[in-house]
Structure 1
């Protein structure tokens, strides 16, 4: 098994160490100079995420080709560069074909190797980590055990059950049971095309202070949690090509590699769920995914993530037995019993600064019975949050009462009751 030190990307000492074509790198460096009116070797290296010697070699090549000029020496190996007419013309042609200006990409082979090595090095999740991750939730012991098996095996999970009982919250908590960080590239190169991977919305960088020198084309992040819902379509599961910038954005499942992908509200998408499920069969079985460039070429990428489906619809209306057999685990998240509801209610009461008394719980149970409402796991939190809102708005002291609970109930459910 690889150690964390073994997984640190090695810094390229020469252009060929990048595993990229020299001409491709030189073209990217030219676009960097084009976009920076005060370009120096140091500034270009910072933007390319390459070492200064490698960057200077690229810039010297552009100088010899008369695309750029040297406008002055700052320090040894750090020159100031500017565009020449020939360079302007070439840069504009390059940008017409590919508008990417940013960190040098890594090769698809390097990305695949790194993802597989990191997956193999992942430590098995222990029961204590799962219990800690679930400590903020009130769940039956059997549910916690199933979630532990999902986390430790990294097999997929199909969660069903009525809405409002915490399926999304459970998925998020399960993700937090995974420890450690991973390395991902800013971008990947395939046949001269760029696939942008890093995305601040889904990826949270971590400090690399104290680490030995590493290949700056990679960044270290917390294991990603990507949640998609009704917006998911077949098209969003493939490479997303922008006609405006003329490069690709990685699809959400690729951005989730090394972490967790949650398909929330499954069955609420705008396309037939069977079509979506057929798209997932290969990744589920082979742990690889196939993506298509706009040229028609298909590429193979790793599918190394914990995959969770969550739905409040009847599985019989969504999937067939053949698909369910491919899922690692299935979990039905039901409405809470009165005892579990009481535990959830008491926790939120005390965490919100109120004093707990069972008479308030009895009052709520009477309201549920009168309106014939099923208990839902999210409702203790939602009702107490509205009690807090009322206390703040009316400058009340934090004291629960039937009257306060009834106001919160009415504001939550939109009903009008009279307290006996």
Structure 2
């Protein structure tokens, strides 16, 4: 398999760029406080915190901060005024009313902030999230051989791997990819979400009772809607802005994984909750790279996820001890260089469902990768020089044809050419030098 860091993203024409069902059907805009699925007290507290943070705000600014309609904001302001928490201020030059906290409102906002430091869009109730998450499952539109072939067209890999990987992607079972280092396991996993290619709705935050857990992570969730809020305060069209339309997430974790990362995390300083990695990866792919090298043992990990892997639901808890259930609706991939039998016993291996072995390439595929990397690096190489590498080094020293070698060896040669100001031509002497540098 090719391991080329310069792999280009698929073009828009190569991927599906819309939800299979209209997003406003999945999550229509709520038109009243009741329709949000949230308590009025939670919304008022959130509005008070935003006013405390913003000082003086117009209704339009509050709409954008909370992600609810102007009508809902007006209802919340009316309730807050009845409690003498909000005051009118001088209008803007274009006639918009401005609002600020009263002294009593400021006291209430600070108390609300001390209980829960969340400051963002209004959250989505857990029940609604569970329904939408299940509807958006990637398994609702199974991957075909043609889709997989097109999605991975920039990679060079044995065709028989496609016949193993495709069904595994459609399965509800976890997938273990194993084999020697450098065979392209992690590289393939990092590009599998390109084969799905569509968009999903990610909630900015979840409401568990009156507690709020932030889910949206801009480093992981790549939004595709550049502007979630039209100019109108009514927000009459499109999906509920509390949901962010994003590409299906790909969450990768390796040796840094700890048991704490699998649970809801509470920051006692900011008084905020953050979602665990599997919740952030829902409706996408979660890759646990280098299985067996994490700070949590493979056995502990599988024990933690026995129920999620089999029943596609997970159980989490809050600082208060309150437990709740979330969907475990993702493609779970494990990648390792180690012997699977040394990591876990046979009972756990059976639960993984798909075990796909990666190994060295044949000469034809290795040659294809070699000359493709040459083209990517603007290097010229003759068949005679390539045979020098194959016969005098790989065969002589019994080095298998591992997919990462072309990228690594040619990368060293490219560095040498730049330093010595040579012509961009691969020569036997450059191969000799690169081989001696790369292999111990």
Answer yes or no: is the 8 Å Cα contact 2:361–2:402 preserved in 1.
yes
- Cα distance in 1 for partners of 2:23, 2:119 equals 30
Higher mean displacement: 366-375 or 384-393: 366-375
Equivalent residue runs for 1:314-329 within 5 Å: 314-329=339-354
Q: Residue 205 of structure 1: which of 191, 212, 223 is its match?
A: 223
Partner of 2:157: 139
Higher mean C-alpha displacement, 345-354 vs 14-23: 345-354
Is the aligned partner of 1:168 residue 2:162?
A: no
Q: Cα distance, 1:122 vs. partner?
A: 3.1
What is residue 383 of structure 1 aligned with on the other side?
409
Residue deviations 1:331-384 (CA, integer Å, cap 9, x gap): 011122333322221221233222332222222232345555443211111111
Contact 1:167 1:310 in 2 (8 A): yes
Per the alignment, in what secondary structure is the counterpart of residue 268 of structure 2? coil
- Residues 73-112 of structure 1: matches in 2 within 5 Å? 73-74=91-92, 78-112=96-130
Per the alignment, residue 425 of structure 2 pairs with 399
Secondary structure at the counterpart of residue 310 of structure 1: strand
Unaligned runs of 5+ in 1: 416-420
> Who is 1:27 aligned against?
45
Post-superposition offset of 1:213: 2.7
Pairing 1:266-277 to 2, within 5 Å after superposition: 266-277=291-302
Q: Map 1:302-341 onto structure 2 (within 5 A).
A: 302-341=327-366
Partner of 1:418: none
1:349-360 equivalences in 2 (<5 Å): 349-360=374-385
Q: Structure 1 stretch 109-118 or stretch 390-399: which is displaced more?
A: 390-399
The aligned residue for residue 129 of structure 1 is 147
What CA distance in whole angstroms lies between the structure 1 residues aligned with 2:422 and 2:52? 62
Residue 154 of structure 1 deviates from its aligned partner by: 4.9
Determine if the alignment matches structure 1 residue 293 to structure 2 residue 318.
yes
Report the TM-score when normalising by structure 2: 0.89
Q: Tell whether 2:132 aligns with 1:114.
A: yes
- Separation in 2, partners of 1:252, 1:97: 24
Q: TM-score, normalised on structure 1?
A: 0.93
**Which of these residues, 2, 6, 14, is aligned with residue 32 of structure 2?**
14
Matched, 1:280 2:305: yes
Q: Give the direction of change, closer, same or farther, for the CA distance of 1:247–1:273 in structure 2 (3 Å limit).
A: same
Output one character per residue of 1:224-271: Cα deviation in whole Å (capped at 9) or x when no partner: 000011111211101011112112111111111111110100000123
In the TM superposition, residue 2 of structure 1 has moved relative to its aligned partner by 7.3
- Report the RMSD for the aligned CA atoms in angstroms: 2.2
Structure 2: how far apart are the matches of 1:344 and 1:300? Answer: 46
